[in-house]
Amino acid sequence: MGLHVAVLIKQVLDPEVPAARFQIDASGKRPAAGIAGEVLGPYERNALEVALQLKDAGAAEKVSVITADGQEAVESLRKALAVRADQAVLVDTSGHDDLDPAQTAEILARAVEKLGGVDLVVAGRQAGDWDHGQVGYLVAERLGWPCVSLVQRAELDGGVLRLTRQGPDGREVVEARPPLVVTVTNDERNVLRLPRVQDLMASRRQPITQWSPADLGLDAAALADLAGGEVLRLRIPERESQCEFISGDDPAEVAATLVRRLKELKLL
Amino acid sequence: MTWTLAQAASEATREVQWNTVPAMIWLMYLSAAAALAVCCYGFWRRLRIWRLGKPEIRWDQPWRRLKLVFRAALLQANLFRDRIAGFMHISMYFSFMLLLVGTMVVAIHHDLGIPIMRGYFYLYFQSLVLDLAGVWFCVGLIIALWRRYVIRVPRLEHGNPVDGLILAAFFVIVASGYPVEGIRLVVTGDIWALWSPFGYLTGLALASIWDEPTLLVIHRVMWVAHMLSWHVLLAAVPFTKLAHLVTSPLNIFFANLEARSIPDPVNFEDEQAVAVLGIRTPFEMTWKQLMDLDACTECGLCQSQCPAYAEGKPLSPKRVILDLRDHIRANADRYLAAGRARAAGQQDVFEQIMAEMPPLAPDVIKAETLWACTTCRACENICPVEIEHVPLILQLRQNLAMEQAQMPEGVAEAVQGLEVRQHPIRGATTGRTDWYRDLPVRVMAEVEDPEEIEILYWVGCAAAYDERLQRIARALVRVMNRAGVRFAVLGDEEQCTGDVARRTGNEFHYDMLARANIETLQRYKVKRIVAHCPHCLQTLGSDYRQLGGFFEVVHHTQFVQELIDSGRLQLPASLKEKITYHDPCYLGRYNGVFDEPRAVLDRLGVERVEMTRAGRRSFCCGAGGGHAFFEDHAGGKINRNRVEEAVATGAGTICTACPFCLQMMEDGLRSVGAAEQVAVKDFVELVDEALAAAEAQQEPAAL
Ligand code: SF4
Ligand code: SF4
């Protein structure tokens, strides 16, 4: 019996939005709508690839992808189906804007439970928009499962998962038994594969499982209670740059002046 | 006496089958019949393979097609593409044809009993002309042997050993023909011997060595050798490169008269059409694509022009054709069996057979080979028999990219960019419309009366997102404003034309973008478009027609020329620079624009110098076919090769008319360390500079 792997994904604002185009909306709390397209988050792509590789190797039997978002996230779920994830679940949280990591983790953990039979939860190390980097751990906490962070590759060997992770001094190999949560970081070997066009076309017709927070036993009040923090204001940092030319008669003099200036500016 | 001679001449003829015994004649008819049968069988096998292909209509405009065949086959017009080889081929071809006619004359005269081989016709044609034709054939033969075995012309390498045998057989035919003729002339004391000078000389020479009985034996041996080698050759035609005697004229007749070098569109709505994407097996090729493979004469001209081959990359267009041909020939029985099963409606048998056959890409044609192609069209441009390499390569790429999801990393990123951002440029720091913020540019969506717009300026992604290339767009805007052109851009509604997707085999993404753009252009009822990018020009103007988007698209070089001709733009002849113009593949070979940019440059007063490879024979910059978006590491750099040629002209400026060429040239100049000495500018940047300089001069005077 292979594993049932659940991949937690998030659709984010295209991280390549040109700086010149980045704007904040009127609330001052989030990026303006429509400044760029949305994409499947970068680390979620790696997470999905790790899960698909387990499936290729015969270790996983089923890969489910879950996201908590508005209807627009169906796009990313379809992307996952196009690379042959088996099931896609959208917990439609429209109407609950600006969920924080604690709320998101609660929703996703409940979705994993409702899905049933999940042995391994794979999440990106952090989402490409807010970079909180908390959801994976909070889900593990909430499910009461161990968590291995910054994983690059996973292999199943006789019921034990061998996880290669990015440690402080290089690669570490950790062995763990499911059930388990892992957060994934990028590596040259977990770049998300490209979809075959036939699969891409088929993914448009595949069903998406749709749940609401209420289906997971969470009403608006319960959700609000879970909030751990609030964004007060989002701001585009202003960067000023000045350029000063150091002149001098010969390189030695220029160097001496440069050192003096750097000392004055307390940079040396 | 004169009278008698004339009278005799009008009766002149010769005895056919002199000095033969019935057994020899029987042998001749039998072997001729056998040879003809083998020859027909060989072509029938070919025909059956071609019939496996998908349908395609290639017989419209028959007169135009016949004219092409006439030009190519009878006038050998395509062969002047290489002078020495052309002369060689013409020599062997014409003399061979003459000798063939001579043989038929004998057959008509002798076997049909219609006495045409007589009189002056016999003397002039059947004796003198054919005698000389044999010599002419020898001249061609010697050049051929010389090129293949002595100087070893590189484009003929990897030739088949059989090719040498063909030449040997030809040699036997000629070397036995003269003794046969000569001995008859000498022994029978033929009074018309002088009409066959070389044959007569051969006869005299032999007669000076041997006596008559020996000569008669030699004659019989040579007669049999002549006849048999001829028949062997005839039987070998369909199995060797000689097949091109038949397949080349056929292939030229069925040439593509319209959408050259672009693949057929894919109907993604049709489930059957997308069951296999691109070419995976011969069954996805059209009958004409299969015929192409058999039409190749192995001349190697395509390879000699291929920029990828020149730089040692793992691609030779000739090899692509021949490797596919050899694979299909080697597996012909299985493919034919699969074809029979399919025709009989036994889909399962068909699939069972095909399951064992490898996908043509990457098993028969390697992925590196396919990705090395810049789609420059140099191969198709030179191929004397109108073989179409580019659509074939692109459709093999389609199978790799779409069905097997295999493509170079840069291509994958570009395509993902298209999906998310509708442009392929990585790391763009600005939006699509930022480049014209400070310029008077109107956006179609804000134009009240679209009818009033005379031309839509299609900016393209390269110039919208790349800082250096934005200068091209800004220059064109200034030039058009000076001429008072009422133009507008699509702004954020413009999406990538899909060129990079299409040329990298990502037809699905191309299709999406193309349909979106066609919809936008039709919504604004756009009739006329100007583009400074030849890739946009080609895609909007030609590729979109396949999807029902008919727009008149002109390149900015053409448009500026038009503005000058209509008097809306006055160019000062003030640019005293030495400039060489680089023909972009998609402008020149694809769209036939060679003269306009040169004419405008000349008006600017520049000293224009040409590179050796210019015009139709221009050498690619290396960016086409998606290569602007990925690095292919095998072999050398195509842009370096081109830049070295440009620098050698001594020009101070390389003028291009394509943003991708411009990037490639600048990059190439840096790699050869000439970026300081030689500048690269787009055509319209030069026009703009000259106009700006003229205005600056006028202003103080006006004060
Ligand atoms: S299109 Fe150009 S690069 Fe491609 S095979 Fe032909 S000559 Fe070579
Ligand atoms: S494809 Fe054309 S140019 Fe190339 S070797 Fe064959 S006949 Fe010659």
Chain A residues with beta carbon closer than 8 angstroms to that of B269: none
Q: What is the pLDDT of residues B169-227, one digit of tens each?
A: 888 888 899 999 999 999 888 888 888 999 999 999 999 999 999 999 999 999 999 99
Q: What pLDDT is recorded for position A249? A: 84
Count of domains for chain B: 4
| B608 assigned to some structural domain | yes
| A114 assigned to some structural domain | yes
Among residues B406, B438, B453, the one where a domain terminates is B406
Our mutation pick for probing the ligand 1 site, out of B262, B301, B374, B619, counting the most ligand atoms within 8 A of Cβ, is B374
ipTM for the predicted complex: 0.85
Q: What is the pLDDT of residues B598-616, one digit of tens each?
A: 999 999 999 999 999 999 9
Q: What is the pLDDT of residues B118-164, one digit of tens each?
A: 888 888 998 899 999 999 999 999 998 888 888 888 777 656 777 88
Q: What pLDDT is recorded for position B418? A: 93
Among residues B376, B406, B436, the one where a domain terminates is B406
B228 and B340 in one domain?
no
Sheet containing strand B607-609, strands side by side: B607-609, B578-581, B653-656, B679-682
Which residues have any ligand 2 atom within 6 Å of their CB?
B 296-302, 317-318, 321, 382-385, 387
Q: What is the pLDDT of residues B520-558, one digit of tens each?
A: 999 999 989 999 999 999 999 999 999 999 999 999 999
| B434 assigned to some structural domain | yes
Please compute the mean of the pLDDT values over residues B654-674 and round it to a whole number: 95
| B134 assigned to some structural domain | yes
Q: Is the pLDDT of residue B332 over 90?
A: yes
Distance (Å, whole) CA B429 – CA B464:
11
B555 and B444 in one domain?
yes
Q: What pLDDT is recorded for position B259? A: 66
- Sole residue written with tokens 């042959």: A84
Query: Of B538, B541, B484, which is closest to residue B518 (Cα–Cα)?
Result: B541
Query: Of A206, A192, A176, A211, which is closest to residue A83 (Cα–Cα)?
Result: A192
Report pTM.
0.89
B672 and B593 in one domain?
yes
Torsion of CA B33, B38, B44, B48, to 10 degrees: 160
We report the CATH number of the domain holding residue B487 as 3.40.50
B467 and B350 in one domain?
no
- Among candidates A16, A21, A197 on the partner chain, residue whose Cβ is nearest the Cβ of B403: A197
B584 and B537 in one domain?
no
- Among candidates A20, A200, A201 on the partner chain, residue whose Cβ is nearest the Cβ of B431: A20
We report the CATH number of the domain holding residue A111 as 3.40.50.620
| B568 assigned to some structural domain | no
As given in the structure block, the two tokens for residue B416 are 């993902």
Range of the domain at A186: 3-226
| B11 assigned to some structural domain | no
Query: Of B491, B478, B486, which is closest to residue B434 (Cα–Cα)?
Result: B491
Ligand 1 atom nearest the C-alpha of B374 is: 3
B70 and B205 in one domain?
yes
B619 and B583 in one domain?
yes
Q: What is the pLDDT of residues B307-322, one digit of tens each?
A: 999 999 999 999 999 9
Please compute the mean of the pLDDT values over residues A70-86 and round it to a whole number: 95
Among residues B383, B406, B429, the one where a domain terminates is B406
Distance (Å, whole) CA B90 – CA B451:
57
Tell me which residue has its CA closest to atom 6 in ligand 2: B296
Please compute the mean of the pLDDT values over residues A1-10 and round it to a whole number: 92
| A62 assigned to some structural domain | yes
Handedness of CA B273, B279, B280, B284 (dihedral sign): positive
Do residue B421 and residue A21 have CB atoms under 8 angstroms apart? no
As given in the structure block, the two tokens for residue B76 are 């050998």
Count of domains for chain A: 1
| A119 assigned to some structural domain | yes
| B27 assigned to some structural domain | no
The vertex-B670 CA angle with B637 and B664, nearest 5°, equals 50
Ligand 2 atom nearest the C-alpha of B382 is: 3
B584 and B515 in one domain?
no
In chain B, % of residues over pLDDT 70: 97
Do residue B508 and residue A197 have CB atoms under 8 angstroms apart? yes
Distance (Å, whole) CA B301 – CA A68:
60
B647 and B534 in one domain?
no
* Chain B CA closest to residue A40: B420
Which ligand ends up closest to the CA of B382? 2
Flag whether residue B429 sits within 8 Å of chain A, measured between CB atoms: yes
- Among candidates B405, B407, B431 on the partner chain, residue whose Cβ is nearest the Cβ of A18: B431
Q: What is the pLDDT of residues A94-148, one digit of tens each?
A: 988 788 999 999 999 999 999 999 999 999 999 988 899 999 999 999 999 999 9
| A81 assigned to some structural domain | yes
Range of the domain at B72: 59-253
Q: What pLDDT is recorded for position B318? A: 96
- CA–centroid distance, residue A203 to ligand 2 (Å): 43
Q: Is the pLDDT of residue A30 over 90?
A: no
- Sole residue written with tokens 């767009």: B473
| A239 assigned to some structural domain | no
B356 and B232 in one domain?
no
* Chain B CA closest to residue A12: B420
B189 and B119 in one domain?
yes
Q: Is the pLDDT of residue A190 over 50?
A: yes
We report the CATH number of the domain holding residue B304 as 1.10.1060
Q: What is the pLDDT of residues B390-439, one digit of tens each?
A: 999 999 999 999 999 999 999 999 999 999 889 998 888 888 999 998 99
B227 and B329 in one domain?
no
| A217 assigned to some structural domain | yes
